[in-house]
Amino acid sequence: MISNEEMIRLAIKARENAYAPYSGFKVGAVLVTEEGRIYTGCNIENASYGESVCAERTAFFKAVSEGEKNFVKIAIVGGKEELTSKGSDNFVICYPCGTCRQVMSEFCKNGFKIILKDKEEIKEYGLNELLPFTFDKSVL
Ligand code: THU
For the segment 83-138, what is each residue's pLDDT rounded down to a tens digit? Answer: 877 776 778 999 999 999 999 999 998 899 999 998 889 999 999 999 999 999 99
Query: What does the pLDDT read at residue 34?
Result: 96
Q: Which of 77, 84, 97, 125 to mutate to test the pocket of ligand 1 (most atoms within 8 A of CB)?
A: 97
Which domains, ranges and CATH numbers included, belong to the chain? Answer: 4-139 (3.40.140.10)
- Phi, psi for residue 47 in degrees, rounded to 5: -60, -30
Partners of residue 117 on adjacent β-strands: 122
How far does Cα 58 stand from its chain's mean position? Answer: 8
Ligand 1 center to residue 35 CA distance, Å? 28
Query: What does the pLDDT read at residue 5?
Result: 96
Over the Cα atoms of the chain, what is R_g?
Answer: 14
Residue 62 has pLDDT above 90, yes or no: yes
Burial class (CB in 10 A: 0-12, 13-18, 19+), 36: exposed
List pocket residues of ligand 1, CB cut-off 6 Å.
20, 23, 25, 27, 43, 45, 52, 54-56, 76, 94, 96-97, 100
CA dihedral sign, ordered 125, 2, 119, 76: negative
What is the rounded distance in angstroms from the CA atom of residue 119 to the CA atom of residue 74? 18
CA dihedral sign, ordered 100, 104, 110, 115: negative
Partners of residue 74 on adjacent β-strands: 31, 114
71 against 90, higher pLDDT: 71
Query: What does the pLDDT read at residue 23?
Result: 97
What is the rounded distance in angstroms from the CA atom of residue 49 to the CA atom of residue 43? 12
Query: Could you list the active site residues?
Result: 56
Ligand 1 atom, smallest distance to 27 CA: 3
Query: What does the pLDDT read at residue 28?
Result: 98
Query: What does the pLDDT read at residue 88?
Result: 66
Q: Give pTM, 2 decimals.
A: 0.95
